[in-house]
Structure 1
Amino acid sequence: MKIIEELSESLKLEKGMRVLDLGCGKGLTSIFLANEYEVTVFATDLWISATENYERIKSTGLEDKIIPIHAEAHDLPFEDEFFDLAIRVDAYNYFGVEKDYLAKYLVPLVKKEGQIGVTVPGLKEEFTNGVPLELQPYWFDEMNSFHSCDWWYNLWKTCDSVSIKECKELKCLEEAWQDWLSCDNEYARRDIVMMEAEGGNYFNLVSIVATKL
């Protein structure tokens, strides 16, 4: 929640906007946006069913503002230029590292002059000499998608249909990690030892905001 709060500060959010929340998980980011900004959110996820999310959305009284969708990131069931804003909080790196993903799958869904905002777990600097020794026992293949601000900026710069507004480190890194590590989740418990080994030397959170031309 701290990540979506900080990302929102860099976005222009107005009542009545249509927002794609791609990979919304259990819909908490969608609930935040609908409640705080009175936008209509299409809460889209592959791993959490639309029915499960709809039950959660109904419990908040926001079912008229949030539409749950079950879809995969490469097969999104929306018309071109349907959204005023597309966001992805966390895990965009799993598919967004593909050179053509932004231009081929995400940009077409956003209106001209619409916004795209993404946050990803990242690195302060690229690992030019491989994964540091202290992190190797905890490294898994999916983490090969962790990259620096400069890496993400250069990737998005190849898409000539967007103008990059900002690409920066988020300030909420420590708070966001502490929230994750303190929750009752087996993956969070596993990450405690990794973050002790990391020691604040390598990881960050990267935010990228762009406007469609």
Structure 2
Amino acid sequence: MSPIKEQLRRALTVERYPRSSAYDPQWLIDNLMGPHPLWLAESLTHVMPLHPGMRVLDLGCGTALTSIFLAREFGIQAWAADLWTKPTDNWKRIQEAGLADRVHPIHTDARALPFAEGFFDAIVSFDAYQYFGTDVLYLPYCLKFLKPGGSIGIVVPGLRLEPGSDMPPYLATRWVPDMCSYLSPSWWRRHWERTGLVTVEVADMIPDGAEDWLRWLDACDLVGRGFEPDAEMLRADRGELLGFCRVLAHSTTRHIPR
């Protein structure tokens, strides 16, 4: 094993993510679109049970790594839905992973899902839901595709508390419009519960999520694929505000208002 590959392996072997640590770090980096996708997925499975044969929509799946991971580790049937990645490219990765019978690539907009109502046992989304799910009308729309009593779980970049006028300088200097979607667990809880359509079971920050994020960026930097402005921001924050929000809820109604 080359020195760089060994460094990557050590950097991306984390005790709290034993399943993810078994995957090839180079495969992860070659297909990256953001923070370590398998860590995000595994952190959700710590609170969200998945069982063999479940139909699961992976919403905004990117390069389908999370769909591959969940299908392989938990025996689910995954629908890998994304707007930005070509389904043919994802299909190639799925076939190479030996999961052509369990992962189904779909090219779709999150606001125009081509599925039957009540089709899915669960819906998951990793580092994607913040791009469309802050719309007050989105959760009621999305829940149409979830069976009664089904589960929806997301992991998104977020803040422990939304900053006010006293935003720390390290955030103020990096703040761009997309970061307006960096919200707190309590914000997501209110946003979902106000619909009356779900019971929120978990709304928290992933333990050591900022540390995980920085560890991933530093590992990517080993092969020239890091993003130093984000790394600098995370170092300055020291885990005070930044990290990942994890939200899990269960559908409580058979009728989704149109």
* TM-score range for the pair, normalised by the shorter chain length: over 0.9
Identity of aligned residues (%): 36
Segment drifting more, 70-79 vs 170-179: 170-179
Alpha carbons 1:15, 1:37 under 8 Å: kept: yes
Equivalent-residue separation in structure 1 for 2:172 and 2:67 (angstroms): 35
Structure 1 unaligned segments of length 5 or more: list them.
Answer: none
Segment drifting more, 122-131 vs 202-211: 122-131
Equivalent-residue separation in structure 2 for 1:193 and 1:100 (angstroms): 35
Equivalent-residue separation in structure 1 for 2:45 and 2:217 (angstroms): 20
Pair 1:198 & 2:237 matched: yes
Secondary structure of the equivalent of 1:12? coil
Would the alpha carbon gap of residues 132 and 176 (structure 1) be closer, same or farther in structure 2, given more than 3 Å must change? closer
Equivalent-residue separation in structure 2 for 1:111 and 1:101 (angstroms): 17
Which among 160, 165, 168 is matched to residue 201 of structure 2?
A: 165
CA deviation digits over 1:105-128, x for unaligned, max 9? x11110001110011111111112
Secondary structure of the equivalent of 2:227? helix
Structure 1 residues 86-101: aligned runs within 5 Å: 86-101=123-138
Segment drifting more, 160-169 vs 174-183: 174-183
Equivalent-residue separation in structure 1 for 2:47 and 2:84 (angstroms): 28
Would the alpha carbon gap of residues 130 and 107 (structure 1) be closer, same or farther in structure 2, given more than 3 Å must change? farther
Structure 2 unaligned segments of length 5 or more: list them.
Answer: 1-37, 253-258
Question: Partner residue of 1:189?
Answer: 228
Structure 1 residues 1-213: aligned runs within 5 Å: 1-104=38-141, 106-129=142-165, 131-173=167-209, 174-183=211-220, 184=223, 188-213=227-252
Secondary structure of the equivalent of 2:169? coil
Highest CA radius of gyration, 1 or 2?
Answer: 2
Would the alpha carbon gap of residues 195 and 212 (structure 1) be closer, same or farther in structure 2, given more than 3 Å must change? same
Secondary structure of the equivalent of 1:135? helix
Alpha carbons 1:3, 1:176 under 8 Å: kept: no
Q: How far apart are residue 181 of structure 1 and its match?
A: 3.8
Alpha carbons 1:80, 1:110 under 8 Å: kept: yes
CA deviation digits over 1:56-92, x for unaligned, max 9? 0000110100000001110111111000000001121
Alpha carbons 1:4, 1:89 under 8 Å: kept: yes
Alpha carbons 1:6, 1:172 under 8 Å: kept: no
Equivalent-residue separation in structure 2 for 1:125 and 1:24 (angstroms): 27
Letter in 1 for 2:102: K
Q: When the two structures are aligned, how many residues end up with a matched partner?
A: 212
Equivalent-residue separation in structure 2 for 1:185 and 1:148 (angstroms): 31
- Please state which structure has a larger fraction of its residues in strand: 1
Alpha carbons 1:180, 1:188 under 8 Å: kept: yes
Q: How far apart are residue 131 of structure 1 and its match?
A: 3.2
Superposed CA RMSD: 1.5
Secondary structure of the equivalent of 2:132? helix
TM-score (norm 1): 0.94
Alpha carbons 2:217, 2:226 under 8 Å: kept: no
CA deviation digits over 1:133-168, x for unaligned, max 9? 232221111001111111111111112111111111
